[in-house]
Amino acid sequence: MRGFRTDLAMESIGDGSGGIEGVQVSQQQMGEISRTRIVIESRRAAEALSRPRGEYITLACDSLSRCDTDNRKRLVQLIAQGVRAMLPKDGEILVVGLGNRNVTADALGTRVVERMLVTRHLREAMAEEMQGKLRGVSAIAPGVLGLTGIETAELCRGLIGHVQPAAVIAIDALAAYESARICTTVQITDTGIEPGSGVGNHRLGLTYDTLGVKVIAVGVPMVVYASTIARDAMTRLMDEYGLMEDQHSPAAELLFRQISESFLGDMVVTPREIDEMVLSVADLLSDGLNRALQPALDEEMLHTYLHG
Per DSSP, the three-state class of 241 is: coil
Q: Any contact of residue 124 with its own copies (CB under 8 A)?
A: no
Chain residues 248-277 in contact with its own copies, contact rule CB under 8 A = 251, 255, 259, 262-264, 266-276
- Shortest separation between residue 27's beta carbon and its own copies, angstroms: 23
- With CB under 8 A, what is the number of residues at the site for its own copies? 79
Does residue 25 contact residue 50 with C-beta atoms inside 8 Å? no
Helix residue ranges per DSSP H, 94-207:
108-114, 128-133, 145-148, 152-163
Q: Which is nearer to its own copies, 46 or 103 (CB)?
A: 103
- Shortest separation between residue 56's beta carbon and its own copies, angstroms: 25
d(Cα 243, Cα 240) in Å, to the nearest integer? 8
Q: Any contact of residue 151 with its own copies (CB under 8 A)?
A: yes
d(Cα 207, Cα 66) in Å, to the nearest integer? 32
Q: Any contact of residue 5 with its own copies (CB under 8 A)?
A: no
Q: Which is nearer to its own copies, 17 or 258 (CB)?
A: 258
> Which of the ranges 9-17, 36-44, 204-212, 239-247 carries the binding residues for its own copies, by CB under 8 A?
239-247
d(Cα 172, Cα 201) in Å, to the nearest integer? 10
d(Cα 32, Cα 64) in Å, to the nearest integer? 11
Chosen residue from 2, 241, 245, 250 binding its own copies by CB under 8 A: 241
> Which of the ranges 12-20, 78-86, 140-148, 288-296 carries the binding residues for its own copies, by CB under 8 A?
140-148
d(Cα 157, Cα 18) in Å, to the nearest integer? 41
Chain residues 160-219 in contact with its own copies, contact rule CB under 8 A = 161-163, 179-180, 199-200
- Rg of the chain over Cα atoms, rounded to whole angstroms, equals 20
Q: Any contact of residue 136 with its own copies (CB under 8 A)?
A: yes
**C-alpha dihedral, 183 to 7 to 190 to 212, nearest 10°:** -120
> Which of the ranges 5-13, 21-29, 52-60, 236-244 carries the binding residues for its own copies, by CB under 8 A?
236-244
Chain residues 39-98 in contact with its own copies, contact rule CB under 8 A = 65-66, 68-69
- Shortest separation between residue 57's beta carbon and its own copies, angstroms: 26
Q: Which is nearer to its own copies, 46 or 166 (CB)?
A: 166
Chosen residue from 30, 155, 166, 302 binding its own copies by CB under 8 A: 155
* HEC-encoded secondary structure of 166-196: CEEEEEEEEEECCHHHCCCEEEEECCCECCC
d(Cα 191, Cα 188) in Å, to the nearest integer? 9
Q: Any contact of residue 2 with its own copies (CB under 8 A)?
A: no
| 304, containing H or E segment | helix 299-307
> Which of the ranges 52-60, 120-128, 204-212, 284-292 carries the binding residues for its own copies, by CB under 8 A?
120-128
Q: Any contact of residue 302 with its own copies (CB under 8 A)?
A: no
Does residue 183 contact residue 279 with C-beta atoms inside 8 Å? no
